[in-house]
Structure 1
Amino acid sequence: MTQYENYKLTYSLGFEKIPEEWNLKKVKYLFNIGRGRVISQEELMDNGLYPVFSSQTQNNGCLGYINTFDFDCEQLTWTTDGANAGTVFIRSGKHNCTNVCGTLQPIKNQAHLKFSHYALQYATQFHKRPDTNGAKIMNNEMAEISFALPSQQEQFKIVEYLNYETAKIDSLIAKQEKLIELLKEKRQAVISHAVTKGLNPNVAMKDSGVEWLGQVPEHWVVAQLKFNMLDIQTGPFGSQLHAEDYIEDGIPLINPAHMVNGVLVPDSQITVDLATQERLSRHKLAVGDIIFARRGELGRCAIVREDNKGWLCGTGSLKAKLNDKLIPEYAYLLITSDGLIAELSLESKGSTMDNLNTETLGKVRTPVPPNNEQIEILNYVEQVSGKYKKLIKKAETAIQLMQERRTALISSAVTGKIDVRNWQKPNNNNEKQGL
């Protein structure tokens, strides 16, 4: 891709030089700047007609639907607060925006909406508030952001070029994301088979008497979890623990959000002092305990390690101490297997959200191989997991490189570092031939 013949210096953030015919324009001269409004969870309706958009990027930022709309137009919105501050979207049709979204409606047709979308994706990164660690771009900051504006004809050409190139990259990213999902599913299937059927394909099998489990090796025991537990205890509730008991950087309380891929990741804001720890001593975690989420994502759990000793089981969790017949790491693999999660969900209590209690967990039936086989299975799983992790890491690295390529393409096009005026969309035949 060629460059423009002549450039001029601007000394503007992100636009030190631009093509000579281009001009810098501030957002406030191109758009009417507005803001969304507070929309409560209570307003959202299962049968609502019009989407409510927020700062969240999942589901394209759609929180849900209500029966009224604030906007009936095509406009740009951006996230004003939080980790995604400065993220820009195009919204169209009848819709609503929450109060963490700013709105940009074109004053006149100087700036192509899609071109402005690409340009602001690039420009906003230079204008996040330094006093908030980049977590805010409010209306006044957005108003003063400048971006480089070529002629209308060039804007259309740049949009055509970027639409085509980013679509190709997005397609490749989607394929890698699909590959990652398939690898994870395959890995989980291999693990589930190993922990429920063993490693010897020639061993004699018997009916376990448990629907989700099917047949298991003949010499394995099948027993309710409670018979392999020395203790099971829910976290504190009611008057035992209040929000005012929390301090910063104290002894961690472990709730479901703090269980990440089998590891405990505490929140420095959800902690208590030594006096509270002592008062709630029956909820202390010990090495080898397994701590479970009591609500929401059933099967979510983690093993307590040496550096977690003395932390507290939170209100949303329950903890169990196993006997020596069941190795914690093996139990973790069982509990996080698809079959047992489905069983827990079926047996759990709670009409609107799955809710696990000690009775439900204790009566779930699981296979219990001899300890030496549990160790063999764990070694096998570690080996297999390592192979899948390498493949997943390779795909994740490819995605990162493609995302960087996408960002670089956009920045080069909207700053005039490349000249796409003569670019032509390849026809299908040329693409197939690699031309």
Structure 2
Amino acid sequence: MTNLSGANLNNGSAVGSQSEGRDSPSNALAAIPKYQAYKDSGVAWLGELPRQWDAIKMKYLYRDTSVKNKASETLLSVTQTQGVVPREWVENRMVMPSGNLASFKFIKKGDFAISLRSFEGGLEYCHHDGIISPAYTVLKAKHSLLCSGYYKYLFKSQAFISELQTSVVGIREGKNISYEELRYSLLPIPKPQEQFSIANFLDQKTAQIDEAIAIKEKQIALLKERKQIIIQKAVTQGLNPNVPMKGSGVDWMGKVPKHWKVKKLRYLGNTQNGISAGAEYFGEGFPFVSYGDVYKNRVLPSYVKGLAKSSSGDQKLYSVLSGDVFFTRTSETVDEIGFASICFEAIDRATFAGFLIRFRTLSTELTKEFSKYYFNAPMMREYFVTEMNLVIRASLSQELLKNLLVALPPVKEQMKIFEYLEDISEKIDASISLQIEQIGKLKEYKSSLINSAVTGKIKVA
């Protein structure tokens, strides 16, 4: 078997590049042996199967079972997104099932459950006895020679899920599929010992791949944290570590260089809430900056998809000009409030949403370049979270925003800080993109490995 140890999967530092070698995930699959002889399975999603394997319709292997009135059993709710949910989650109202609990179906360890209305995630394997929503179909193996570990991977494989989706489109034009239709699907049947070997192989290899992915996700988190620390230090302390410092007057900012100014935002420009209107106002007309445009982007896109039937008066009052800073103003939670997006290029005849506040600088002391990083430094979160007044919805008032203190280096120093942070950000973002790309390859390899093993395209026993 091919070695997929952590050393092979996790090579590459948090900052830097990774070259693919002989043991890289992209080459590992090709290195695993194949069976000596194959035969046509008769169905496209399986393709050719090892000659010694059988292909049998699901109805001969699994039966649809429906046992109810066991509400006293340990409650489980099997869903496509959450898997198996313990009873205590229901009792603590973390998850609330709908309907009469007595109508829920009993499910045993080793059974499979599927929602025939939504099965993008395949069939869910049950790890504990319990009950599930009546919306799910429970499948129980008819034979003891069927290894649940093997079918756990088969039923979650992309090959099988694609077959399910194809069946739905072909039979019901995108609507529900019943088990009466599903049970005619052909399933591969390796020898019992081979089923166990495939399941054990995939348990081991997918665990290694998942560990490699977790390491890279941790690297991404560390890189993002490092970037935020660098930004905050630069916009509050500058680039010269030996410069004399002074107190800023607030704990969340700390000390700043002695020659810098510190002013409230109200003395640097004005603020304006966005436009609020009914649904008929939107969908056509002129460019409209939405909440999502600001929340998702630290620099406002030069092209926005939103449209609004704004008048010339609207376009003047709610204009979007170069140097404007837009803040997310209201949301369900404080965690989404106060995110800033800086406009580098004016958007002609545009207006912006009522869920936003626009700050427009009227002072030459603050550049849009410095604003890009200053208003997105981690300390901003502390200010907004601490000062925000939560009622029903989190809401950022113009008054609170105007009281925000701004550290102001001389303009030339602002530009040097901007250029430094642009360079650092580009390098860190490239490293993050590399890790994301490698995670994507690992996930793709994991999917291919599972597909190949459960359909006999590779020999692991």
Structure-2-length-normalised TM-score: 0.74
Tell me how many residue pairs correspond in the alignment. 396
Check if 1:123 corresponds to 2:160. yes
Alpha-carbon distance between aligned partners in 1 of 2:84 and 2:275, rounded to the nearest angstrom: 35
Alpha-carbon distance between aligned partners in 2 of 1:58 and 1:337, rounded to the nearest angstrom: 37
Q: Which residue pairs with 2:51 in the alignment?
A: 20
Could you say if the C-alpha distance between residues 90 and 321 of structure 1 is closer, same or farther in structure 2, counting changes exceeding 3 Å? farther
**Structure 1 residue 212 displacement after superposition:** 0.6
Could you say if the C-alpha distance between residues 115 and 263 of structure 1 is closer, same or farther in structure 2, counting changes exceeding 3 Å? farther
The one-character-per-residue Cα deviations of 1:14-43 (angstroms, maximum 9, x if unpaired) are 2221012323344555456699xxxxxxxx
**Structure 2 counterpart of 1:108, one-letter code:** K
**Structure 1 residue 416 displacement after superposition:** 0.5
**Pick aligned residue for 1:282 from 317, 332, 342:** 317
Check if 1:244 corresponds to 2:280. yes
What pairs up with 1:205-220 in 2 under 5 angstroms? 205-220=245-260
Alpha-carbon distance between aligned partners in 2 of 1:98 and 1:384, rounded to the nearest angstrom: 54
Secondary structure of the 2:165 match is coil
What pairs up with 1:220-231 in 2 under 5 angstroms? 220-229=260-269, 231=270
The one-character-per-residue Cα deviations of 1:264-290 (angstroms, maximum 9, x if unpaired) are 46885x532355x75565223222211
Q: Which residue pairs with 1:105 in the alignment?
A: 139
Secondary structure of the 2:33 match is coil
Check the 8 A contact 1:285/1:313 in 2, yes or no: yes
**Pick aligned residue for 1:90 from 122, 125, 131:** 125
Secondary structure of the 2:395 match is coil
Check if 1:385 corresponds to 2:425. yes
What value does the CA root-mean-square deviation take over the aligned residues? Answer: 3.6
Q: Which moved more, 1:206-215 or 1:13-22?
A: 13-22
Flag structure 1 segments of 5+ consecutive residues without an equivalent: 36-48, 422-435
What pairs up with 1:31-430 in 2 under 5 angstroms? 31=62, 55-56=80-81, 64-66=94-96, 70=104, 72-73=106-107, 74=109, 75-77=111-113, 85-86=120-121, 89-93=124-128, 94=130, 103-109=137-143, 111-120=146-155, 121=157, 122-128=159-165, 138-140=176-178, 145-229=185-269, 231-237=270-276, 241-247=277-283, 251-256=287-292, 259-264=295-300, 268=305, 271-274=307-310, 279=314, 281-294=316-329, 295=331, 296=333, 297-306=336-345, 308-323=347-362, 324-351=364-391, 353-421=393-461
**Structure 2 counterpart of 1:128, one-letter code:** Q
Percent of pairs with identical residues: 26
Check the 8 A contact 1:286/1:310 in 2, yes or no: no
Check the 8 A contact 1:256/1:292 in 2, yes or no: no
Secondary structure of the 1:306 match is coil
Check the 8 A contact 1:258/1:267 in 2, yes or no: no
**Structure 1 counterpart of 2:50, one-letter code:** P
Check the 8 A contact 2:271/2:360 in 1, yes or no: yes
Alpha-carbon distance between aligned partners in 1 of 2:441 and 2:41, rounded to the nearest angstrom: 30
**Structure 2 counterpart of 1:212, one-letter code:** W
Could you say if the C-alpha distance between residues 291 and 404 of structure 1 is closer, same or farther in structure 2, counting changes exceeding 3 Å? same
Q: Which moved more, 1:50-59 or 1:385-394?
A: 50-59
Structure-1-length-normalised TM-score: 0.78
Q: Which residue pairs with 2:25 in the alignment?
A: none
